[in-house]
């Protein structure tokens, strides 16, 4: 929205410096519907400026969140409106004089319409400023959920009366893993045991061969054949 530097300078002095306001003439800018605290998106919002002194017209000014002043409309004492850009009509606002009050209507309140609304009355070539009427959307705050702490009594923490049941899918997976481990480790342990026995037989056979020729001693020959036969069975079991 365009802004007139000279007009906004005067308005800034009036808003910032209490001595320029003309404190003897009290004015009020407010929502026409006194039950409204925060406007809603797209709402038709009506504001009124109440004055108790003869005047020659009133300005409506909006101060945005950044502190910038925006001229909206001038309403003459004959209820003639002049909007920004010297336009007689506005697509966003309506304005008129109704008795001793000057009304401003925001046709569809949007985010760019937020701010503090002031009315400025010209009486005997003196500008009188009203108090500001804040018009902002409500601030939505979401509180983070908090888990209640367990209550204790006499140093004993209350237990959950409804303990969680184990997941059947998890239990089934654990059971399958257990059986798989059995099928893997049991044959592996048996193979290790057979290898140990084969090693023991081999050691015994080597000792017999070192002590003398098995052909000269029939008993040793029989033991040697028995050890070889046992070793053959053990190796066959391991490689099977």
**Beta-sheet pairing, 45-50 with 69-76:** unpaired
- Encoded tokens for 108: 């569809």
Over the stretch 25-70, which tens digit does the pLDDT of each residue have? Answer: 678 899 999 899 999 999 999 999 988 777 889 999 999 999 999 9
pLDDT at 181 over 70: yes
Contact partners, residue 155, CB within 8 Å, separation at least 6: none
Whether 83 and 73 have beta carbons less than 8 Å apart is answered as yes
Residue 190, phi-psi category: left (phi > 0), alpha (psi -120 to 50), beta (remainder): alpha
Over the stretch 96-155, which tens digit does the pLDDT of each residue have? Answer: 999 889 999 999 999 999 999 999 998 888 888 998 999 999 887 766 677 676 665 555
Over the stretch 187-237, which tens digit does the pLDDT of each residue have? Answer: 777 777 777 777 776 777 677 666 655 455 556 556 666 666 666 766 666
CA gyration radius, the chain: 50
More confident: 135 or 160: 135
Identify the pLDDT of residue 234.
63
- pTM of the complete model beyond 0.85: no
Identify the pLDDT of residue 27.
81
73 — pLDDT class (breaks 50, 70, 90): very high
Identify the pLDDT of residue 6.
46
User: In this structure, what DSSP letter does residue 87 have?
Assistant: B
Identify the pLDDT of residue 126.
83
Beta bridge partners of 98: 101
89 — pLDDT class (breaks 50, 70, 90): very high
Identify the pLDDT of residue 25.
62
Angle between helices 218-239 and 168-211 (to 10 degrees): 160
Residue 123 φ then ψ, to 5°:
-130, 120
């Amino acid at each position: 929205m365009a802004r007139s530097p000279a007009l906004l300078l005067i308005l800034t002095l009036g808003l910032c410096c209490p001595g320029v306001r003309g404190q003897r003439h009290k004015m009020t800018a407010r929502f026409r519907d006194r039950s409204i605290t925060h406007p809603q998106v797209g709402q038709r919002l009506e504001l009124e400026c109440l004055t108790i002194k003869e005047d020659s017209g009133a300005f409506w000014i909006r101060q945005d969140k950044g502190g910038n002043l925006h001229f909206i409309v001038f309403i003459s004492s004959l209820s003639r409106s002049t909007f920004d850009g010297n336009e007689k009509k506005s697509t966003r606002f309506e304005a008129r004089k109704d008795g001793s009050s000057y009304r401003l209507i925001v046709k569809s309140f949007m985010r760019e319409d937020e701010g503090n609304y002031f009315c400025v009355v010209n009486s005997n070539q003196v500008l009188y400023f009203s108090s500001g009427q804040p018009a902002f959307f409500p601030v939505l705050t979401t509180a983070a959920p908090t888990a209640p702490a367990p209550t204790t009594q006499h140093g004993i923490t209350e237990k959950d009366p409804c303990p969680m049941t184990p997941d059947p899918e998890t239990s089934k997976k654990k059971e399958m893993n257990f059986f798989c481990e059995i099928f893997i480790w049991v044959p592996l342990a048996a193979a290790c045991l057979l290898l140990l026995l084969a090693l023991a037989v081999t050691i015994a056979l080597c000792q017999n061969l070192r002590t003398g020729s098995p052909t000269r001693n029939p008993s040793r020959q029989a033991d040697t054949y028995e050890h070889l036969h046992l070793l053959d069975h053990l190796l066959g079991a391991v490689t099977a």
